[in-house]
C-alpha cells in the first residue's frame, strides 16, 4: 500500500527544494534568459557558448511546424535503497534515502501552435552508452502532434567519462556551467522530477504553457531502456509520475539502483538484472526488442495482458544502418566521437518506424483506445537458443516488415564483426531474378507487404508509402 499522506509530504518537500535550488541559479550568475523562471524548477537555458543545444535533432523543425528550446532543471533528488530481493517478477520494494541537489538540462521539442498538440508528451531518458547524451526517439511519427522531451538524468551525460570526457560540461563549458550531478543513484528521482515539472505548466515561461497536457510516456532505449525498466518496477509504484512506460531494446535487463555516488558511464552499463515488468503495475507498459535482443529476452518473455504488450522486430539489429547514419550525422555536427564506426554490413532492417507505430498505439491506448495489437514473438528452435530461420536465412516469427516478407537479402540481428550492428547479406543477381521476374512484380509485392504491415499496426501510413516509393526506385531485379 502507498502511504498517500507521506507521498504528499515528499512531493511538497521536493518542490520546495526545487524552488530553492532554482532561485539560487540567478545568484550564481546565469545569463539573463536563463533567469526567466518557467515554474517547477525549470529555467530557460542561456544562449551563450556555442549557442546551441547538444545532441539535438537533424530534422528541419520549422518545416514540421515544431520548435525546440533547452531548459535547466534543478532540485533536490533522493536516492533509493533496495528492501528485500530484486526478484525476476519485478515486484520490487524501494526505500527513499539520502537527498542531494542537482542541476541538469532537458530540451523540449513541441508544436509551434498549441492547437496542434495531441496532449501526449514523450519523455525520453537520454542514453549515455557512447560517453555523451544520445536521443533515439526522433522518428517522423513524433511530429504528428506529440511533444518530445529529452532528459539528462545521468552523471555520464553531464560529466562524461575517461581522460577526454564528452559530457555536456566538456562540450560547452559556458553553456552548461551550472550543471551539477550527484551520481547515478539519484537519476531515477531526477527523471521523476522532470515529469512532474512538465505537468506543472501554469507559469508563463514554462515550455508547455498554454498546452493541454494529458499524458506522459516515459521511454528509453538500450542502456536507458534498462533504466526505464528498473523505474517501472521500483520507482513508478512510489512516484506515480508517468502514465505509461516503454522500456525498449533492453532485452529485459534492468539497471541497478545502487552503484555509487558518481559511477560514470561504464558503471551505468554494469550489473543488469534480467526481469519481467511487474504484473501489478498500475499503468500500461510496452516493450520493444529486436532480433539482436531476442535470445537474451526470451527467458523473460511474459504474456500480453490488458496492460502489457511486447513486440520483437525480426531482422532488425540493435544498431541498424539507418540509426548509425543518424548517430554519425549528429557526431559530425557536434564534433564528438564514439565507438560506433561506419558499419557497411549493418542490418538494413530498422526498428525505428516500428517504434513510431508503437508510440502512436500507446498514445491511443492512454486515450481509452485498445492496446497495441498483439504480435508473435521471434521463433526459436527446440534448444531455446537458436533463432528459427526461413529458406532465405531470415528469422521466423516476430514483427515482419517488408524487408523480410519480400527479401532481397538475408539479415542478422547480431553481427560476427560488429555485434550490435547486425549484418546484411544481399542476394546474388541470379537469386533476385529468380525471386522477382520483373520490376513491377517486385514493386507490387513490396506494396502489398507494406500495406499488410500497416494493417497489422507495426508501421504508420507514411512509412508504408515510403516502402512503395523505395521499391519503385530500386533496381530489382538488376538490369545489368
**SS (HEC) of 109-175:** EEECCHHHCCCEEEEEECECCCCCCECCCCCHHHHCCCEEEEECCCHHHHCCCCCCCCCHHHHCCCC
Q: Residue-wise pLDDT tens for the chain (480 aa)?
A: 333 343 334 343 443 334 323 333 332 333 333 334 555 566 766 656 788 999 999 999 999 999 999 999 999 999 999 999 999 999 999 999 999 999 999 999 999 999 999 999 999 999 999 999 999 999 999 999 999 999 999 999 999 877 768 899 999 999 999 999 999 999 999 999 999 999 999 988 899 999 999 999 999 999 999 999 999 999 999 999 999 999 999 999 999 998 754 444 444 445 679 999 999 999 999 999 999 999 999 999 999 999 999 999 999 999 999 999 999 999 999 999 865 565 678 999 999 999 999 999 999 999 999 999 999 999 999 999 999 999 999 999 999 999 999 999 999 999 998 999 999 999 999 999 999 999 999 999 999 999 999 999 999 999 999 999 999 999 999 997
**What is the C-alpha to C-alpha distance for residues 324 and 343, in angstroms, rounded to an integer?**
8
H/E segment holding residue 74: strand 66-83
Model pLDDT, residue 6: 37
Q: How far is CA 196 from the centre of its chain?
A: 19
**What is the C-alpha to C-alpha distance for residues 276 and 87, in angstroms, rounded to an integer?**
9
**What is the C-alpha to C-alpha distance for residues 289 and 189, in angstroms, rounded to an integer?**
26
Name, in order, each residue with C-beta under 8 angstroms of 432's C-beta and a sequence gap of 6 or more: 408, 476, 477, 478
Name, in order, each residue with C-beta under 8 angstroms of 48's C-beta and a sequence gap of 6 or more: 31, 174, 175
User: What cell numbers appear for 37 in the block?
Assistant: 523562471
Model pLDDT, residue 21: 36
Strands 244-248 and 285-290: parallel
Phi first, then psi, for residue 77 (nearest 5°) are -100, 160
Model pLDDT, residue 468: 98
Phi first, then psi, for residue 189 (nearest 5°) are -75, -30
H/E segment holding residue 268: helix 264-268
Model pLDDT, residue 337: 80
**What is the C-alpha to C-alpha distance for residues 53 and 68, in angstroms, rounded to an integer?**
9
Size (the chain), residues: 480
Model pLDDT, residue 249: 98
Cell numbers 544502418 correspond to what residue? 321
Model pLDDT, residue 268: 46
Strands 273-274 and 253-254: antiparallel
**What is the C-alpha to C-alpha distance for residues 203 and 194, in angstroms, rounded to an integer?**
15
SS3 content of the chain, % helix, strand, coil (to 5): 35, 20, 45
Per-residue DSSP letters for 424-452?
EEEPPHHHHHHH-SSHHHHHHHHHHHHHH
**What is the C-alpha to C-alpha distance for residues 177 and 191, in angstroms, rounded to an integer?**
21
Which residues is 389 bridged to in the sheet?
A: 395
Burial of 212 from C-beta contacts in 10 A (0-12 / 13-18 / 19+): exposed
Q: How far is CA 21 from CA 13, 77, 191, 207, in A?
A: 12, 11, 17, 19
Model pLDDT, residue 13: 40
- The reply to whether omega before 64 is within 30° of 0 (cis) is no
**What is the C-alpha to C-alpha distance for residues 156 and 104, in angstroms, rounded to an integer?**
12
H/E segment holding residue 22: helix 4-27
Model pLDDT, residue 185: 96
Amino acid at each position: 500500500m502507498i502511504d498517500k499522506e507521506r507521498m504528499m509530504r515528499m512531493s511538497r518537500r521536493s518542490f520546495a527544494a526545487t524552488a530553492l535550488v532554482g532561485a539560487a541559479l540567478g545568484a550564481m550568475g546565469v545569463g539573463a534568459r536563463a533567469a526567466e523562471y518557467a515554474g517547477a524548477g525549470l529555467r530557460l537555458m542561456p544562449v551563450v557558448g556555442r549557442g546551441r543545444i547538444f545532441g539535438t535533432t537533424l530534422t528541419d523543425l520549422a518545416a514540421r511546424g515544431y520548435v525546440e528550446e533547452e531548459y535547466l532543471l534543478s532540485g533536490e533528488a533522493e536516492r533509493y535503497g533496495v528492501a528485500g530481493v530484486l526478484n525476476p517478477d519485478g515486484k520490487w520494494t524501494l526505500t527513499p534515502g539520502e537527498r542531494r541537489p542537482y542541476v541538469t538540462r532537458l530540451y523540449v521539442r513541441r508544436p509551434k501552435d498549441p492547437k496542434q498538440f495531441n496532449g501526449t508528451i514523450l519523455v525520453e531518458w537520454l542514453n549515455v552508452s557512447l560517453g555523451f547524451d544520445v536521443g533515439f526517439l526522433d522518428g517522423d511519427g513524433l511530429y504528428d502532434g506529440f511533444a518530445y522531451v529529452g532528459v539528462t538524468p545521468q552523471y555520464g551525460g553531464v560529466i562524461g567519462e575517461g581522460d577526454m570526457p564528452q559530457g555536456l560540461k566538456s562540450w560547452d563549458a559556458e553553456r552548461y556551467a551550472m550543471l551539477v550531478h550527484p551520481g547515478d543513484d539519484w537519476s531515477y528521482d531526477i527523471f521523476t522530477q522532470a515529469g512532474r515539472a512538465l505537468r506543472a505548466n501554469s507559469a508563463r515561461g514554462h515550455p508547455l504553457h498554454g498546452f493541454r497536457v494529458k499524458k506522459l510516456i516515459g521511454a528509453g532505449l538500450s542502456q536507458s531502456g534498462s533504466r526505464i525498466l528498473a523505474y517501472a518496477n521500483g520507482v513508478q509504484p512510489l512516484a506515480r509520475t508517468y502514465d505509461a512506460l516503454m522500456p525498449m531494446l533492453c532485452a529485459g535487463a534492468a539497471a541497478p539502483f545502487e552503484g555509487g555516488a558518481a559511477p560514470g558511464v561504464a558503471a551505468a552499463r554494469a550489473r543488469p538484472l534480467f526481469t519481467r515488468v511487474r504484473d501489478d503495475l498500475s499503468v500500461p507498459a510496452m516493450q520493444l526488442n529486436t532480433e539482436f535482443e531476442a535470445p537474451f529476452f526470451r527467458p523473460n518473455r511474459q504474456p500480453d495482458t490488458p496492460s502489457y504488450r511486447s513486440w520483437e522486430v525480426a531482422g532488425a539489429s540493435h544498431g541498424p544502418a539507418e540509426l548509425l547514419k543518424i548517430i554519425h550525422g549528429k557526431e559530425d555536427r557536434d564534433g564528438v566521437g564514439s565507438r560506433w564506426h561506419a558499419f557497411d554490413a549493418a542490418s538494413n532492417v530498422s526498428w525505428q518506424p516500428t517504434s513510431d507505430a508503437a508510440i502512436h498505439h500507446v498514445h491511443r491506448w492512454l486515450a481509452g483506445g485498445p492496446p497495441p495489437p498483439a504480435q508473435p514473438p521471434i521463433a526459436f528452435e527446440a534448444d531455446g537458443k537458436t533463432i528459427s530461420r526461413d529458406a532465405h536465412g531470415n528469422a521466423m516469427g516476430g514483427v515482419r516488415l517488408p524487408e523480410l516478407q519480400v527479401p532481397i537479402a538475408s539479415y542478422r540481428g547480431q553481427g560476427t564483426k560488429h555485434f550490435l550492428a547486425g549484418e546484411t547479406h544481399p542476394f546474388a543477381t541470379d537469386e533476385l531474378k529468380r525471386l522477382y521476374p520483373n520490376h513491377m512484380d517486385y514493386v507490387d509485392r513490396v506494396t502489398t507487404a507494406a500495406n499488410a504491415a500497416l494493417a497489422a499496426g507495426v508501421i504508420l501510413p507514411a512509412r508504408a508509402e515510403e516502402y512503395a516509393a523505395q521499391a519503385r526506385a530500386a533496381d530489382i531485379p538488376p538490369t545489368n
